[in-house]
Structures are given as C-alpha cells and as structure tokens.
Chain A
Amino acid sequence: MSPEGARVELSGVGVRYPGGAHAVREVDLAIAPGELAVFLGPSGCGKSTLLRTMNRLVEPTDGTVLIDGVDVRRQDPTELRRRIGYVIQAVGLFPHYTVAQNVAVVPRLLGWDRARIAKRVDELLALVALEPAKYRERRPRELSGGEAQRVGVARALAAEPRLLLMDEPFAAVDAIVRAALQEQTARVHRELGTTIVFVTHDVDEALRLADRVVVMNAGRIVQADAPERLLDAPCGDFVRDLVGVDAETRRLTAARPLIER
C-alpha cells in the first residue's frame, strides 16, 4: 500500500552563516529509497542543519538538495514540508489540540475528508502502539514523554510521506522508553519502506538503527558506512574515538537484530 521511499541527493551542500562561519560544508551524499540513514556526530557538527536543508527549514548557501530528482528550491516550502514527515526532540505537539487533532494536522491541511482522516488517525495510533480509543481524545499535557513522542511520530507519518526526517527524536526520554521507540522506528521503517534520515549524537542508537551511519564533524562528512563497516574500518582517529573503547561490545549489539515487540 505505501509508496516506495524517496531518494535524496545532496551535492556540494554548504550552509554558511552571515558571519562567514560554516555550519555545513561540501556535503555530497546520496540516500537511496527506503534507506535509514543516521547522521551521527557531536553537537554543533552540522547534522541537524544538514537535515533541515531537506525540508527547507534551512536554505543551503551552496550546492543543491534533490528529492526524487527535483531541486527542493524549485518547490513551495509549505507544500514540500507537507510531503515530508518531521519529528523533533521536543516533539512540539500543539497544546490546544487533542492527540487525534495533532495526528490529523497534515491530512487536514491537504484537505482529506473527515472519514478518511478518522480512519487514518486510528491506524497511526495503532502503528505507534497507542490504543486509539484510549488516546484519541487526550491532550498533550496528559501524555508521558514517550507517549508524546509516539504521537509526534504518528503525526509525522499521517500523510504517508515518502521521506521522514527525525531530529534527535528520542534524546529526551529515558533509556527504556528510548529502546522501545527505537524498536518501533525500526519496525515502521521495515513495514512502510519510508526513507528515514535520523539525527543523533548517541553512537549506540546510530549503530542499532542505521542502514548507513553518516559520521559528521565540523560541518563535513567524515565517514558514511554500514554500522559493521564503521566498527571494522573506522576512517581516521575521529571515528575511532567516537565508536571508541566499546567497539567490541558495540559490534555485538549492532549485529543483533532489533527485537520485535
């Protein structure tokens, strides 16, 4: 039922601040349809900025961003964003909306009819493991951090985007909830085939989730490889230090498939 994921191509992408400092420089990267690419790096390395060029929340000063072969700059930003899912660390649920209304935001913008929206909301709540009857009418303030982020993911997926951008989505929840949310993300990715770009500074999270880990430092890509490759053949001291002392243990975790819930 769900369409194939989108292809993202970045070429020569740079983001320069008015002062002249670079947040991102000379990034070339192709993300295949259905790939789950994780941008990994310390804070300030440009990973979020790079992610935000894909839905035009940040405009690159150099290079081009193509989604399915079309330059994002040739598309109206609001229309572009409605076709791309967006999940952020602080969730940002609309406080005056119920859970169902939050999930329905993009379908409503797209003018779906009521019955289709209601059906879709229930489907999505079930997909993120929130019982629709129990959660539909709740307000964001009545949710735990983990529940709120599940709703955030459901909201991002509502209009069946072919590309999902997730900016440190699970950094603010505790370890147990984070593991559950990671498993859910892996499952959603497997079931829907959506292309996912996922930003994190958590090495274990990157290794668990990624088809490919894109390691960034100081605005540049240092290495872009499958998790095992990153552990076996770290490219330079930066990556070696990042995956670090626990490389051996991490190899074991990364090799183990995520447990089905």
Chain B
Amino acid sequence: MSYAATHLRTLAALTLQHLALVAVSLAIALAIAFPAGIVAARNARLGAAIIGTAGVLYTIPSLALLAALVVALGIGPQCAIVALVVYAQLGLVRGIVAGLRGVDPAVVDAARGLGLSPAQRLLRVELPAALPVILAGVRIAAVTLIALATVAGWIAAGGLGTLIFDGLAEHHDGPIVAGALAAALLAIAADAALRACERAVRT
C-alpha cells in the first residue's frame, strides 16, 4: 500500500488508461456483437455458427493471441484492443441472442398485428424488451475485459497491467499489488454500476 500512497498520480493515470482501453474495446465489440447477435437470434444455423466461432476464439490463451497480434500489428494498444474485442464477443452475442429469443412471442405477435414494421418491431419492442438480458451480457463482458486488459501491460499498451509487469521485471512487490488491487476494484465497481443499470431497465 505504501507504493500506492506514494504513486497516486501514476496509479490514477494508469487507471484512466485502463478504463479507456476497456471502454474503446467494449464499444467496438458492441458494434460487432449487435448485428451478429440479431442475425444469430433469427437464424438457428447461423446462430450456432456465430456462437461456435465466438466460443472457439474465447478459448485462445490471451498471451498467445496477443503475441500473434503483435507480430501482425506491431506493439501497442491496437493489439490489446483487438484482443479485447475478440474476447468480449462470446458474452455479448450470447446475451443478445438469449435476450431476443426470450422476448414473449405474444409481444412479437401483437407488435406485428398492430402494424409495426420489422425495423420498428426490432428497435421499439424486441431490443428494449431484451435489454435487461443484453445488459447482463455487457456486464460480464466489461468485467472480463477489465481483468484481461491487465495483460496489455505485457505489450506496452498501457493500463494497470503496466505496474504488474514492471513489478515482475524489477522483483518489486509494491507495484504488482497496487496494479492488481486497482484492477480488481475497477472490476467490482463496473459490476456494481452495470447491475444498477440492469435494475433500472428491468420492467
């Protein structure tokens, strides 16, 4: 803790960097997961393929994926972001598929029968009705990414992992503990905040 006390400014900067890394990755991941999840929810065969692919990607060890990405993209945050986007897919797509498939069929039938167009049904009825389940997927993805983003420190992509890898290299416990604790607290805070969002949208 003495390390944290004397390096507050560094810790704060790295925490912000960590959050930025996760936020950017999550935003990109959502932009991919929404169309993928909507397609997967409507077509059983494509759904199995999409979730299967996301599942296989999820099982690739993070250090191996990062190493491969460094070779392909060069060292830096872009590698970390690509890796985080990949790991977020499984949780996000699953949440979107479960959410959409869980919408009461009577609600969808009523929406059709009342004269909502397919796009209006999706945007005004199905996605909002699925939102609590989708948000649960976002929460799990966010917490996973906060933990995973620490490995970005290994490839000089910034964030709290920097402290952990620096500490390991210098045989210095202080930064390791500070980085790990800060990342854990961040994950807990994100979990609590997103849980609150879920409660707010639950009908």
Contacts and interface: CB of A to CB of B under 8 A. Distances in A.
A49 to B, nearest CB: 13
A96 B126 CA distance: 10
A92 B128 contact: no
A95 B107 contact: yes
Contact of B203 (A78, A95, A156): A95
A57 B110 contact: no
B104 A95 contact: yes
Interface string A98-142: 000000011001000000000000000000000000000001110
Contact of B111 (A91, A94, A165): A94
Interface string B105-118: 11111111111110
Contacts of B129: 94-96
Contacts of A109: 114-116, 120
A77 B124 CA distance: 18
10 nearest CB pairs, A to B: A92-B110, A90-B106, A81-B115, A82-B115, A86-B113, A92-B106, A95-B203, A96-B128, A92-B107, A78-B115
Interface residues of A, number: 29
Which of B107, B112, B113, B120 is the most central at the interface, judged by chain A CB atoms within 10 Å of its CB? B113
B115 A79 contact: yes
B124 to A, nearest CB: 8
Contacts of A83: 115
Interface in B49-97: none
Contacts of A171: none
Nearest to B126: A94
Contacts of A89: 106
Given A79-B115, A86-B114, A90-B106, 7 more contacts: A83-B115, A90-B105, A92-B107, A96-B203, A105-B116, A109-B120, A140-B203
B88 to A, nearest CB: 25
A160 to B, nearest CB: 14
Contact of A57 (B113, B124, B131): B113
A109 B117 CA distance: 10
13 contacts: A55-B113, A81-B113, A82-B114, A86-B114, A88-B109, A90-B104, A90-B106, A91-B110, A92-B104, A92-B110, A94-B110, A95-B107, A141-B203
Interface of A: 55, 57, 77-83, 86, 88-96, 105-106, 109, 139-141, 152, 155-156, 165
Contacts of A77: 115
A76 B105 CA distance: 23
B10 to A, nearest CB: 44
A193 B120 CA distance: 31
Contacts, number: 71
A106 B111 contact: no
A88 B111 CA distance: 11
B110 A78 contact: no
Given A94-B125, A95-B203, A139-B203, A88 B116 contact: no
A123 B20 CA distance: 51
Given A94-B129, A95-B203, A105 B114 contact: yes
A165 B109 CA distance: 13
Nearest to B127: A96
Contacts of B109: 57, 88, 90, 92
Contacts of A140: 203
A80 B116 CA distance: 11
A78 B106 contact: no
Contact of B110 (A93, A139, A141): A93
Contacts of A81: 112-115
Contacts of B116: 78, 105, 109
Given A96-B128, A105-B114, A109-B116, A88 B106 contact: yes
Given A88-B106, A109-B120, A140-B203, A96 B112 contact: no
A88 B120 contact: no
A111 to B, nearest CB: 13
A80 B115 contact: yes
Which of A88, A96, A140 is the most central at the interface, judged by chain B CB atoms within 10 Å of its CB? A96
B122 to A, nearest CB: 13
B198 to A, nearest CB: 13
A80 B115 CA distance: 7
